[in-house]
Amino acid sequence: MSHVLSRHAGAHHEGGRAAGRRAGWSSLRRIGAWLGLSSRAAAPHAESQRLTAIDACAAFRKGDEFLQRCREDRVPVTVLVFELHDLPELECVFGAGAARQAIVQATAKLQRIAGTQGMVLRTDPTLFTLLLPDTDKDDALDMLRGAFGESCALELEAGDEDLVLVPEFALRILSTEAPPLVDVQHGLCCDIQQARAREQQRREYLQRERESHSRPMPLPRTAQGRPERESPRAVHPEQYPRIPMTMPVPLGRR
């Protein structure tokens, strides 16, 4: 990862190199703080958190270099952010093996989409960023469905359990004046979070609707505090059935 820090070491004397290293680590810490990452590697069993600020900074630098080459060639690029939001929960419940299986499967499918022309970057413990040159939105979605299926899901096995992990994604076609990749990813992550919030609101609304039709309603109470019951003569007289008049019959003699 030394090439990541080399851009900060512009001086040729020892003091300049030390200042460059300090600036490099300061930049890494800022990116790491924004991403919620640590400057040290996570514990070996924490598969969903095995990413450092240095790894993220190197990934963003590779992505920016790739985008710069595409801009020079005037080739449009579609950036797709692919988030495994439930990865930490998956690891917590089913163990590191299930999380590792999800990461390996997602990486393989995304690399198949990228092919030899695109690029796949893991820029966050739960995020993958896919760069697809000369690809429009519809083509990108078709490629995503081709790799992950119509439901866009990962099917996993954890012991005797069959698991389905549904990722979330957002994409954007970059213009020639696009901002750095870290800013593009941040904007797409905000889009994902807003879509997740809207979906949560929709589910809560449907849940409230079901509950309003299923729970018993309290009876209205009278002035004495007792529940008011419906009168047995609540039917309007016009709705009474017509009963034919009876004819008088003489009583029999004894």
Domains in the chain: ranges and CATH = 15-211 (3.30.70.270)
Between CA 33 and CA 25 the distance in angstroms is 12
Residue 4: pLDDT above 60? no
The C-alpha angle with vertex 122 and arms to 118 and 126, in degrees rounded to 5, equals 130
pLDDT tens for each residue of 33-67: 444 443 333 343 344 455 667 788 888 899 999 99
Residue 150 has pLDDT above 80, yes or no: yes
Q: What does the pLDDT read at residue 79?
A: 92
pTM of the predicted model over 0.85: no
Is residue 83 classed exposed, middle or buried when 0-12, 13-18 and 19+ CB atoms within 10 A define those classes? buried
Distance CA 184, CA 121 (A): 13
Distance CA 25, CA 2 (A): 11
Checking if the pLDDT of 10 tops 60, the result is: no
Rounded to whole angstroms, the Cα distance separating 89 from 129 reads 21
Beta bridge partners of 169: 82
Give the residue carrying structure tokens 């012991």: 159
pLDDT digits (tens, 9 = 90+) for 158-185: 778 888 888 888 989 887 777 888 888 8
What is the overall mean pLDDT for the chain? Answer: 73
Distance CA 240, CA 242 (A): 6
Other CB atoms closer than 10 Å to residue 222's CB: what's the count?
10
